[in-house]
Amino acid sequence: MEKIKKSVEKMWKEYLESKEEIVQNTDQTYTSWYFCDNEKSANDLAELVKKGIKRATTSLHCFYEVEGESLPKIGELSIITDWNGEAQGIIETTKVTVMPFKEVSSEFAFREGEGDKSLEYWKKVHIHFFTKELKEINMEFSEDMLVVCEEFEVVYK
């Protein structure tokens, strides 16, 4: 398992203190992660989150099954990092919807906050990204595939 950066632990402690909680006494938990699979995108998207522009993300449903992970849940907290694992902000999941890729709305694409925020741009970059991800497990992309659409808000930065 990858070692958690000090900045992640520090941000978590500061967040809890801002809510008048003590790290040792809290039952709240978090995950920490970065967006995408490359440094530029990870850093750019973390910046969009900090600015409040990016308020949603999408992942392939099949990867939760392949990796044995549970779907995101409303109220879950995540520390978003840059590519190097440095904490950038804490988000709270506010909505989770599972649907076929082809049913994602322009409103959701806008909440993702990427590019020109259009559904066309969203589809283009996500088809490219998902096709590449699926190739690693010998699967092909289809617009009928289920995606997990997660909405969130920044609760600490």
Tens place of pLDDT for every residue, the chain, 157 residues? 355 689 999 999 999 999 887 777 778 889 999 999 899 999 999 999 999 999 999 999 999 998 999 999 999 999 999 999 999 999 999 999 999 999 999 999 999 999 999 999 999 999 999 999 999 999 999 999 999 999 999 999 9
Say which CATH architecture domain 6-100+144-156 belongs to. Answer: Roll (3.10)
43-59: per-residue pLDDT in tens? 999 999 999 999 999 99
In degrees rounded to 5, what are phi and psi of residue 129? -65, -50
d(CA 109, CA 58): 9
Residue 113 per-residue DSSP state = T
Residue in the structure block whose two tokens are 């808000």:
153
Query: Helix (H, G, I), strand (E, B), or coil: what is residue 156?
Result: strand
d(CA 44, CA 80): 12
Pairing type for strands 77-81 and 87-100 reads antiparallel
Q: For residue 2, what pLDDT is reported?
A: 54
